[in-house]
Amino acid sequence: AQSVTQLDSHVSVSEGTPVLLRCNYSSSYSPSLFWYVQHPNKGLQLLLKYTSAATLVKGINGFEAEFKKSETSFHLTKPSAHMSDAAEYFCVVSSGNTPLVFGKGTRLSVIA
């Protein structure tokens, strides 16, 4: 069985400051891990994906995430938040060809 826990339901940062969205996962096998973003009333957009290659994964819009097997974590970071980053972020796990399992989401607010 697989599961994902997003440790914060809401994160608020000031524009220009770093972003950290935390995610822990559970998987019986080698996982694939994803971060998706959803802007208000929009669809889902893939930010980045880990599939057992480099543990530091770079995504779009300056986001990156580090896979830490010993901590079962896949936290999402960005050095400097922009107003356009305000959205809902989902951490997602899959193993092999099993369907994706989503976390409950973290809402990121960016304050001017």
In the chain, the N- to C-terminal Cα span, in Å, equals: 41
CA distance 21 to 18: 10
Residue 19 or 33: the one with the smaller Cβ distance to another protein is: 33
- Residue 7 interacting with another protein (CB under 8 A): no
Between 77 and 102, CB nearer to another protein:
102
**Under rule CB under 8 A, residue 94 binds another protein:** yes
Which positions lie near another protein, rule CB under 8 A? 9, 32, 43-44, 46, 49, 51-52, 90, 94, 96-105
